[in-house]
Homo-oligomer: A and B are copies of this chain.
Protein backbone atom coordinates (compact mmCIF):
# COMPACT_ATOMS: atom_id res chain seq x y z
CA UNK A 1 0.00 0.00 0.00
CA UNK A 2 1.43 3.33 -1.08
CA UNK A 3 1.28 6.03 1.61
CA UNK A 4 -0.17 9.51 1.03
CA UNK A 5 3.34 10.94 1.43
CA UNK A 6 4.72 8.64 -1.29
CA UNK A 7 1.83 9.45 -3.64
CA UNK A 8 2.25 13.17 -2.97
CA UNK A 9 6.01 13.16 -3.51
CA UNK A 10 5.73 11.26 -6.78
CA UNK A 11 2.93 13.55 -7.95
CA UNK A 12 4.71 16.81 -7.20
CA UNK A 13 7.96 15.71 -8.85
CA UNK A 14 5.98 14.62 -11.90
CA UNK A 15 3.70 17.67 -12.06
CA UNK A 16 6.36 20.36 -11.87
CA UNK A 17 8.75 18.35 -14.06
CA UNK A 18 6.14 18.14 -16.83
CA UNK A 19 4.99 21.73 -16.30
CA UNK A 20 8.54 22.99 -16.70
CA UNK A 21 9.38 20.83 -19.76
CA UNK A 22 6.17 20.42 -21.82
CA UNK A 23 3.10 21.58 -19.95
CA UNK A 24 0.64 20.39 -22.62
CA UNK A 25 1.36 16.90 -21.25
CA UNK A 26 -0.34 17.73 -17.93
CA UNK A 27 -3.72 16.90 -19.50
CA UNK A 28 -3.61 13.25 -18.35
CA UNK A 29 -3.69 14.38 -14.70
CA UNK A 30 -7.14 15.96 -14.99
CA UNK A 31 -10.65 14.63 -15.59
CA UNK A 32 -14.04 16.18 -16.43
CA UNK A 33 -14.79 16.79 -12.73
CA UNK A 34 -11.40 18.46 -12.07
CA UNK A 35 -11.37 22.09 -10.95
CA UNK A 36 -8.57 24.62 -11.24
CA UNK A 37 -8.56 28.14 -9.78
CA UNK A 38 -5.55 30.01 -11.19
CA UNK A 39 -5.13 33.51 -9.81
CA UNK A 40 -8.86 33.55 -9.06
CA UNK A 41 -9.92 32.31 -12.53
CA UNK A 42 -12.03 29.13 -12.12
CA UNK A 43 -12.01 26.38 -14.74
CA UNK A 44 -13.63 22.95 -14.74
CA UNK A 45 -12.73 19.91 -16.86
CA UNK A 46 -9.59 18.85 -18.68
CA UNK A 47 -10.25 20.93 -21.81
CA UNK A 48 -10.87 24.23 -20.01
CA UNK A 49 -8.00 23.64 -17.57
CA UNK A 50 -5.51 22.82 -20.33
CA UNK A 51 -6.63 25.83 -22.39
CA UNK A 52 -5.82 27.98 -19.36
CA UNK A 53 -2.47 26.30 -18.68
CA UNK A 54 -1.44 26.52 -22.34
CA UNK A 55 -2.46 30.18 -22.54
CA UNK A 56 -0.28 31.35 -19.63
CA UNK A 57 1.89 34.22 -20.82
CA UNK A 58 5.25 32.89 -19.68
CA UNK A 59 7.43 30.72 -21.91
CA UNK A 60 10.09 28.61 -20.23
CA UNK A 61 9.48 28.39 -16.50
CA UNK A 62 11.02 26.67 -13.50
CA UNK A 63 9.25 25.83 -10.21
CA UNK A 64 11.39 25.67 -7.08
CA UNK A 65 9.66 24.13 -4.06
CA UNK A 66 10.36 25.74 -0.68
CA UNK A 67 7.85 23.90 1.53
CA UNK A 68 5.66 20.88 0.89
CA UNK A 69 2.97 19.58 3.26
CA UNK A 70 0.74 16.51 2.83
CA UNK A 71 -2.35 15.24 4.61
CA UNK A 72 -4.70 12.36 3.80
CA UNK A 73 -8.14 13.70 3.00
CA UNK A 74 -11.77 12.70 2.35
CA UNK A 75 -12.53 9.96 -0.19
CA UNK A 76 -9.07 8.39 0.19
CA UNK A 77 -7.70 11.62 -1.22
CA UNK A 78 -4.26 13.20 -0.80
CA UNK A 79 -4.18 16.92 -0.01
CA UNK A 80 -0.97 18.79 -0.82
CA UNK A 81 0.13 22.34 -0.05
CA UNK A 82 3.19 23.72 -1.83
CA UNK A 83 4.94 27.06 -1.39
CA UNK A 84 7.79 28.00 -3.66
CA UNK A 85 9.28 30.21 -6.31
CA UNK A 86 8.52 30.54 -9.99
CA UNK A 87 11.43 31.50 -12.20
CA UNK A 88 10.33 32.67 -15.65
CA UNK A 89 12.52 33.20 -18.66
CA UNK A 90 14.00 36.67 -18.85
CA UNK A 91 13.00 37.56 -15.27
CA UNK A 92 15.78 38.20 -12.79
CA UNK A 93 13.65 37.91 -9.67
CA UNK A 94 11.73 34.72 -8.85
CA UNK A 95 8.03 35.16 -8.06
CA UNK A 96 6.67 33.49 -4.92
CA UNK A 97 3.67 31.19 -5.27
CA UNK A 98 1.47 28.87 -3.22
CA UNK A 99 -0.45 25.93 -4.70
CA UNK A 100 -2.92 23.36 -3.39
CA UNK A 101 -3.66 19.97 -4.98
CA UNK A 102 -6.24 17.44 -3.88
CA UNK A 103 -5.77 14.06 -5.55
CA UNK A 104 -8.56 11.50 -5.65
CA UNK A 105 -8.41 7.83 -6.66
CA UNK A 106 -9.51 7.01 -10.21
CA UNK A 107 -12.24 4.38 -9.70
CA UNK A 108 -11.22 0.87 -10.73
CA UNK A 109 -7.51 1.68 -11.00
CA UNK A 110 -4.51 2.27 -8.74
CA UNK A 111 -4.15 5.76 -10.14
CA UNK A 112 -5.06 9.22 -8.94
CA UNK A 113 -6.28 12.37 -10.65
CA UNK A 114 -6.32 16.04 -9.66
CA UNK A 115 -9.79 16.93 -8.35
CA UNK A 116 -8.77 20.34 -6.94
CA UNK A 117 -5.95 22.64 -8.08
CA UNK A 118 -5.63 26.17 -6.65
CA UNK A 119 -2.74 28.50 -7.49
CA UNK A 120 -1.80 31.98 -6.30
CA UNK A 121 1.18 34.21 -6.85
CA UNK A 122 2.29 35.92 -3.63
CA UNK A 123 3.09 39.58 -4.04
CA UNK A 124 5.45 40.91 -1.39
Contact = CB atoms under 8 A, between A and B. Distances in A.
Copies of this chain present in the complex amount to 2
B122 A37 contact: no
A31 to B, nearest CB: 13
Given A40-B69, A67-B40, A69-B37, A98 B75 contact: no
A81 to B, nearest CB: 4
Interface in A54-110: 67, 69, 71-75, 77, 79, 81, 83, 96, 98, 100, 102, 104
Contacts of A77: 73-74
Query: In terms of DSSP, what is the predominant structure of the interface of chain A?
Result: strand
Interface size bucket, A side? Answer: 20 to 34
